[in-house]
Structure formats: C-alpha cells, structure tokens
A and B are shown apart, each in its own frame.
Chain A
C-alpha cells in the first residue's frame, strides 16, 4: 500500500516559519525540496480577507485554524509521581495547523535574544560563580553566540519586515531604543508603530522611574515594505484582530505573507498539504536517515525518500518525531542520561493588571504586539548578587486585546461574573483595564522532561507525548521579583485597582488564561553530545543528515518571544548545509 514518491534532495517536515525559510534558501540554491505539511493551504485572499477575518468567535474562541486536540494532543502532569492525563480541550499551546504554521496566527513580537541568553552558563559562572544556580537547574551554553547569529537575525528581519527602533548599532547606543540589546549591524527595516494611549502612559512613568522604555519590535509592520525576497507587504491598520487570526492586509510578518509567495515560484519546490509525517526512516546501520513516512488525510500511507531530512514541525512535534523515530537517546530523569526530551523550559510570566478610573484606552485599536517594554530587569542586565536566581523578564505595557468575548472575564477579582453587577463592571473595565506583562526567562530542570506516554494514543494508535512540568525554584524566585516590579509600575502609572500575579507561584497548568504558548527545548543544540541532541548547526549528533529546527533547539528561554531567534537559526543552518554539508556530507562538528 505504501506509495513511494520520487526521491528529493531535501524533505522538510512542517511548513511554518522554520520550514518555509529553510525551504526557500535550499530551493533557491537549486535543491529539489519537498515540504510535507499536516495542515491545509491557507492564503490571505481566501482565508483572511477583512470581510472574513473580523470574527472573534470563529478565530479566537473556536480557534478554527489551530491544531485541534482531536488531531493530536499531549498528556500532562506536574511531576513524575502523578499519572499524566490528556489535554482534551483547547489549551494555551495554540498550535499552528496550516501552511504558515503558528506564524500565521502569532502575535508577531519580533525579538532578538540578549547575548546572555546564548551563554547563560559561562556568563553566570564568570560573574557570580556556581552558587547562583539552584540545585537541579540544567543551564548550558548553546554553542553559538549572539555575535555569530547577528547577520542571520538581520536577514530574518529583512524577510519579515520588522518594525522597531534600534538601541545599539555597531556598539553605539541610540536614544529611544533598547540600550541593553546586543549590538546590531543596522536598524530595523521599518520604523516603530504608533503607540497606544496605554503605551504612552507607560513610557512616561517608566522614564520618570529611571528605566529605559522602547517600542517592542513588531512584525505587524508600520508601513509598506518590499522584503528581501521581493515580496510586497502592506501597512498594518491596527485592526485588533491579530493574535489567533490571519492578517487581511499582508501586514503581519508570516510565512504566508513574507516567504511562501517567493517559495512557490521556485521550480524545484513542492508542498504536500494535509499530509502528516509519521516518522523518519533510518538506513539499516542507523547512521543516516533515508526519508520519511507519511499519511494523507485520506489514510493513504506513503514514503518520501530524501538525502536530507529537516524536522520543522514545531517544538512539541519535533520532540515527538525524534522519539517515535528512535533518533537520539531519550532522556531518563532518574539516571539523567539521554538527550531527547531533556532541557524542557517554558516562559515564566508575571503580571500586574490595573484599572484606571476614567480613561478611554480604546483597547480595540491594537496589534498583536503593540507594546512598550523595559529591559532593565531582563537577562543579566541587573546585578543578581544575593537574589538566588538567574534571568528576569522583559516588562511591557501590552495593547493586544480589545475583543469582547475574551475581555468579558477580565474584571477585578471582587467583581461579579454575571448579572447586573457584571454588566456595569465590564462596561467600565473595557475602557479602563490595562496589563503589564513580565515575560520571563525559563531554565530547564532535571526533573522536568518529555517522553512517550505509556497509556494514551493518537488516532493511529501511536503514543502521545507526555509532558512532566512544573515551575522550579529559579522560576519562582525570578517570577516573584518581576511581579513586584510590575506591581510597582502599575501603582506608579495611576492604577486605582491593582492585582499582580507570579504564575510560578502556582502549579503549572496548560489551561491558564493569559499564559504563554512558548514551549522550549527537548531537542537542544549544544557543545556536548551528552547534554545536547544537536550540534551548533542544529544537526543531529547521531544521524548526520537530520537537522531539527525550532524552539526545540533552545537549551533555555530568554525573556522574549522565541520566533526571530528560531528563524535566524534556520537561516544559519541553511548556510551550513549549502556551504559545508553539501560538499562533504557528514557531521559538521566532531563529537
């Protein structure tokens, strides 16, 4: 029954951000590239025009373009003594499921990581010594530095059309930007967005407090732009139907708007849609991959042979495909041996919610990432001596939500949830509520990991992946420190009611409102095959023609959203394949 397709040079699993940018690089270099995407074809003209897009129920509540738990879910428990149970309903991991991946419906905050984030181990030891690390924390360097990645960050921004204000260019500090950022070779392709009323209030007060506010770099771009691949993008209209939605204006940086139009013109590229890769096939000696097996939505099983396999199926599915395919040794938390499923980290969120008395914040005028941030408490930008943790958070005033179904529950704790009292409270809260988000770093812990679930199966009878995760002591301490900063700013800006939260104070749950979707690690890059699954080129240490792209490669999470970093890493790997691997297929780094 298995249907064998003609051999390709490269097969790419998943056509989201990672998959599309590397496919474009390799197809342009003349390689025959076949992408296999589980979701459907989606494009701006038919799926997200303004007359279809402005529908909160369909896209944000029912999540029509997201990957449903029915198709594939994961099981979850807080610690290894519990029984993991399946996540049956929509959770905060709102995964992508179409050509474009989660890059279609993401919020488009377009960050570079701080230089510290790539070398957290060596920089911590250098400044504070080993005592700064709480027991069990798995902190390690990535094997690549910010400076090495800078040209690829720059290229990715030129593809995505990112809007922003540079803070450091060639070592010079530029007023209005982020003075803590790694040095850039040049500014952003497009200027920052017009800030919201809430953004302005935050800027004024944090400046008075001595902090350094700057506009969050945005993929909801501020003006028309022709990107590095020759694709035209339109200016963002601040429509407010952004996160969880496609964009009707070709304004949101996305594979659909920025990469796919150029990619589809490459004669050596094709994509099979609504087709799921089941596993990666290995040669008899197990040293190389021979291609992948897939199943179409009609149930037909097939094989796509290829010389190079690129795994770009998002962090969770990357880990699962490696486990299902038997590539790399699975992590065992008892012996601490093994690498697949190791180094899982997340994003430690803290918030202050605040209410003004008589504002018109007009929250419906927004983009997914219309925000002003301070990085004074991010990465290692402040002295951690005596604090008992490493890392921190970007603290931002976010104007990203004005849709009524979602906001109807965002009320002060003492307000009723229904009845006349609720109506009155919501009418007031709608124009007066604001949030300060601390988007925190996260570091892996030896007790937190992924493996295959012994009980629960997918629709094909294969084990689901099991997540064992709870916040560690470093998260709890950094989250608490950041919560206090958020709370202090909320009072300073004049919030008459303030509530603040350190999410790490509670047990982790996949169902918490306003929690992050950023799952990180599990197939990480590094310098040592004992503690990393991939070398610095995101190449498997064990099977040299398998490359794994996505946030699964990050040994830890920065106090930022992850995508521009994983996009830059995809471009870095593309270059290594083109310039080194094709000439001499084999390990690019000797173990």
Chain B
C-alpha cells in the first residue's frame, strides 16, 4: 500500500481552513477507533476572563443590545448577565466569526430574497461594521453612543432595525444585521454554558428544558405531566 507517499506530499491546492480535520488516511482491516480520543469542540481562547475579539466598547455595546433583546424580568436574568456578549466575543474569534464554512468566492451580486445573503463579509466583520454604524447613527440622532441611550430609545432603534427602516449606510444591510444580532444573542442565552453564556442555565430553567440529558426512557410514559427536571450542562465556562 502506498498510503505514506500519498499522504506526505503537500501541494496545498485546497483552500486553507480551520474546520475540524480528522484522519486523512486509507482505512482498512477494522475500525480505526482509539481509546481516550474524544472529539471536543474547538473553543476560542480566552475561556476565562479577557476579550477574544471585541474591544471593551464593543463588548459593552453587545451587552446593552443583549439586555434589550432579552431583558431581565421575573422569568430570568437579562442577556448581559447571562453572558451573551462574552459568548459572542468568543464565537466571533473562532471559526464562526471567521466565516470558515461560508462560500466566499466572487462575484458578489445582490440577488432576489430567495437567493439569500450575498454579503462578502464574515460574521465578525458584520458585527464590527454593524456596531460602528449603529453608534454613528446614535451620535447623529442623539449625540450619544448606544450604551448611553435610555431603554426606550434603545428599543425604538431596535424596532427600526427590525423593520428595516433604519439606514445604516452603504456597507450594512440593516435587516440582515438585526437578524444576526438577534440570532447570536439567542444562541448565547440558550447554548450550553460551555460556550460562555447561559449563566447558571438560566434560560433552560425559564422554559423547563433539561439540557445535556441523554435518556428519557424513564419519563416518556409520564405524558402531559410537568416534569420539573433539574437541568445539567456539559461544562460551565461562564465568567
């Protein structure tokens, strides 16, 4: 078998990617399973303290946005306290932020709504440009940055973004930006605390989701009943 020379030559035609790579190999004569090997998620450093992508001002702004999208009330803590901004910071530093899975070859032409986004920017670039554009707008309209607006002004601005009525300049698709911010904030609120958000599994307790539990054979018979399961998470990496 010539697997060694097949594998050792390195003419890198394939575009470099940070996507997870397992064994490139010729496998035969049994399953190449090795004890003690587990496929753990790639996590952006730092996991405890410090910023991975955002500046402090951007982090504060992401936290303020998260607190309007998911405000504190008697159902749960707010998005900021839950760690949504920290979660987003780490996500944007990693493969997600870099757009590692996106098709990013040109030409970039605006299409029909059915054809989906044709943005040339990565999610990290969209956040950075988007936050700057929102703050520039707040500077013009209120002579203040977003974080210093009161809650109802912040809500008005978010409504205008959601409806696509706010013009954030040539480089920012307002509605797409709003949808991305909302999606990432929700992810931070609901993903396993492993990723830095969902502090104390607050969101799971709010809706009654049991989290990282893998066996319900003992409960499937209890149909239509409130189950009161105490949730479990994988690892807690919240600050």
Which residues of A does B touch, CB under 8 Å?
1, 3, 5, 40-43, 45-47, 49-58, 61-64, 68-70, 73, 76-78, 82-83, 85-91, 194, 196-197, 200, 235, 237-241, 248-249, 260-261, 264-265, 267, 269-275, 295-302, 359-362, 364-365, 402-405, 408-409, 417-420, 423-424, 426-427, 430-431, 455-457, 459-460, 507-511
B48-56, B71-79, B131-139, B141-149 - the one binding chain A? B71-79
Decide: A295 near B33, CB < 8 A? Known: A70-B101, A405-B187, A418-B182: no
Additional pairs, 10, CB under 8 Å, beyond known A5-B6, A508-B114: A41-B23, A45-B33, A51-B234, A57-B187, A68-B19, A68-B100, A88-B102, A269-B28, A300-B6, A362-B223
Contact indicator B217/A238 (Cβ below 8 Å): yes
* Chain B residue, CB-CB nearest to A270: B28
Contact indicator A260/B31 (Cβ below 8 Å): yes
In angstroms, how far is the closest chain A Cβ from the Cβ of B182? 6
Contact indicator A405/B26 (Cβ below 8 Å): no
Contact indicator B216/A239 (Cβ below 8 Å): yes
Interface residues of B in 186-207 (CB under 8 A from A): 186-187, 190-192, 194-195, 203-204, 206-207
Cα A54 to Cα B193 with chains together (Å): 12
Contact indicator B215/A360 (Cβ below 8 Å): no
* Chain B residue, CB-CB nearest to A91: B116
Decide: A302 near B22, CB < 8 A? Known: A57-B191, A70-B101: no
- Complex A-B: 22 CB contacts under 8 Å: A3-B2, A43-B33, A69-B102, A69-B103, A70-B103, A86-B118, A88-B102, A264-B30, A265-B30, A275-B24, A298-B11, A299-B11, A300-B6, A300-B7, A364-B209, A365-B216, A403-B209, A404-B190, A409-B186, A419-B68, A430-B209, A509-B116
Contact indicator A78/B112 (Cβ below 8 Å): yes
Contact indicator B207/A69 (Cβ below 8 Å): no
* Chain A residue, CB-CB nearest to B111: A85
In angstroms, how far is the closest chain A Cβ from the Cβ of B21? 7
Cα A241 to Cα B192 with chains together (Å): 13
In angstroms, how far is the closest chain A Cβ from the Cβ of B214? 4
Across the interface, B11 reaches (CB within 8 A) one of A78, A300, A409, A509, namely A300
* Chain B residue, CB-CB nearest to A78: B114
In angstroms, how far is the closest chain B Cβ from the Cβ of A453? 12
Cα A456 to Cα B107 with chains together (Å): 8
Cα A573 to Cα B153 with chains together (Å): 66
Any A CB within 8 A of the CB of B57: no
* Chain B residue, CB-CB nearest to A295: B13
Contact indicator A69/B101 (Cβ below 8 Å): yes
Please count how many residues in chain B sit with their CB below 8 Å of the partner chain's CB atoms: 94
Contact indicator B24/A273 (Cβ below 8 Å): yes
* Chain A residue, CB-CB nearest to B222: A362
Contact indicator B223/A54 (Cβ below 8 Å): no
Contact indicator A430/B207 (Cβ below 8 Å): yes
Inter-chain contacts of A295 with B (CB < 8 A): 13-14
Cα A576 to Cα B107 with chains together (Å): 46
Contact indicator B117/A264 (Cβ below 8 Å): no
- Name the 5 nearest CB pairs between A and B, nearest first: A40-B22, A270-B28, A68-B101, A299-B13, A54-B212
Contact indicator A274/B31 (Cβ below 8 Å): no
Contact indicator B109/A90 (Cβ below 8 Å): no
Cα A62 to Cα B92 with chains together (Å): 13
* A-B pairs with beta carbons under 8 A, tally: 278
Cα A360 to Cα B71 with chains together (Å): 25
Cα A63 to Cα B190 with chains together (Å): 16
Inter-chain contacts of B211 with A (CB < 8 A): 54
Decide: A359 near B116, CB < 8 A? Known: A418-B68, A423-B75, A455-B107: no
In angstroms, how far is the closest chain A Cβ from the Cβ of B149? 15
Inter-chain contacts of A196 with B (CB < 8 A): 220, 223
Any A CB within 8 A of the CB of B169: no
In angstroms, how far is the closest chain B Cβ from the Cβ of A88? 5
Cα A272 to Cα B210 with chains together (Å): 40
Across the interface, A43 reaches (CB within 8 A) one of B7, B15, B31, namely B31
Inter-chain contacts of B204 with A (CB < 8 A): 404
Cα A411 to Cα B174 with chains together (Å): 23
Contact indicator A238/B220 (Cβ below 8 Å): yes
Contact indicator A273/B116 (Cβ below 8 Å): no
In angstroms, how far is the closest chain B Cβ from the Cβ of A293? 13
Any A CB within 8 A of the CB of B171: no
Inter-chain contacts of A296 with B (CB < 8 A): 6-7, 24
Any A CB within 8 A of the CB of B230: no
Contact indicator A89/B117 (Cβ below 8 Å): yes
Cα A436 to Cα B146 with chains together (Å): 43
Cα A196 to Cα B19 with chains together (Å): 37
Contact indicator A298/B214 (Cβ below 8 Å): no
Any A CB within 8 A of the CB of B45: no
Contact indicator A405/B190 (Cβ below 8 Å): yes
Across the interface, A419 reaches (CB within 8 A) one of B6, B12, B155, namely B155
Cα A455 to Cα B187 with chains together (Å): 35
Contact indicator A427/B33 (Cβ below 8 Å): no
Contact indicator A408/B190 (Cβ below 8 Å): yes
In angstroms, how far is the closest chain B Cβ from the Cβ of A264? 5
* Chain B residue, CB-CB nearest to A40: B22
Inter-chain contacts of B33 with A (CB < 8 A): 43, 45-46
Contact indicator A431/B102 (Cβ below 8 Å): no
Contact indicator A264/B214 (Cβ below 8 Å): no
Cα A270 to Cα B27 with chains together (Å): 6
Which of B7, B20, B103, B222 counts the most chain A CB atoms within 10 A? B103
Across the interface, A241 reaches (CB within 8 A) one of B23, B214, B219, namely B214
Inter-chain contacts of A3 with B (CB < 8 A): 2, 5-6, 9
Cα A489 to Cα B35 with chains together (Å): 51
Inter-chain contacts of B116 with A (CB < 8 A): 85, 87-89, 91, 509-511
Cα A197 to Cα B221 with chains together (Å): 9
Decide: A457 near B105, CB < 8 A? Known: A56-B190, A273-B24, A420-B71: yes
Cα A21 to Cα B214 with chains together (Å): 29
In angstroms, how far is the closest chain B Cβ from the Cβ of A178? 23
Contact indicator B207/A404 (Cβ below 8 Å): yes
Cα A418 to Cα B114 with chains together (Å): 25
Cα A35 to Cα B101 with chains together (Å): 25
Contact indicator B190/A459 (Cβ below 8 Å): no
Contact indicator A57/B192 (Cβ below 8 Å): yes
Inter-chain contacts of A73 with B (CB < 8 A): 103
Cα A427 to Cα B162 with chains together (Å): 22
* Chain B residue, CB-CB nearest to A302: B6
Any A CB within 8 A of the CB of B170: no
Inter-chain contacts of A50 with B (CB < 8 A): 214
Cα A239 to Cα B115 with chains together (Å): 35
Across the interface, B103 reaches (CB within 8 A) one of A86, A299, A431, namely A86
Cα A275 to Cα B234 with chains together (Å): 33
Across the interface, B12 reaches (CB within 8 A) one of A269, A298, A430, namely A298
Contact indicator A509/B114 (Cβ below 8 Å): yes
Contact indicator B234/A426 (Cβ below 8 Å): no
Across the interface, B7 reaches (CB within 8 A) one of A53, A298, A404, namely A298
Inter-chain contacts of B222 with A (CB < 8 A): 362
Question: Digit string of B221-238 for contact with A (CB within 8 Å is 1, else 0)?
Answer: 111111100000010000
In angstroms, how far is the closest chain A Cβ from the Cβ of B176? 11
* Chain B residue, CB-CB nearest to A238: B216
Cα A13 to Cα B182 with chains together (Å): 40
In angstroms, how far is the closest chain A Cβ from the Cβ of B31? 5
Cα A57 to Cα B190 with chains together (Å): 9
Cα A528 to Cα B217 with chains together (Å): 51
* Chain B residue, CB-CB nearest to A82: B112
In angstroms, how far is the closest chain A Cβ from the Cβ of B165? 16
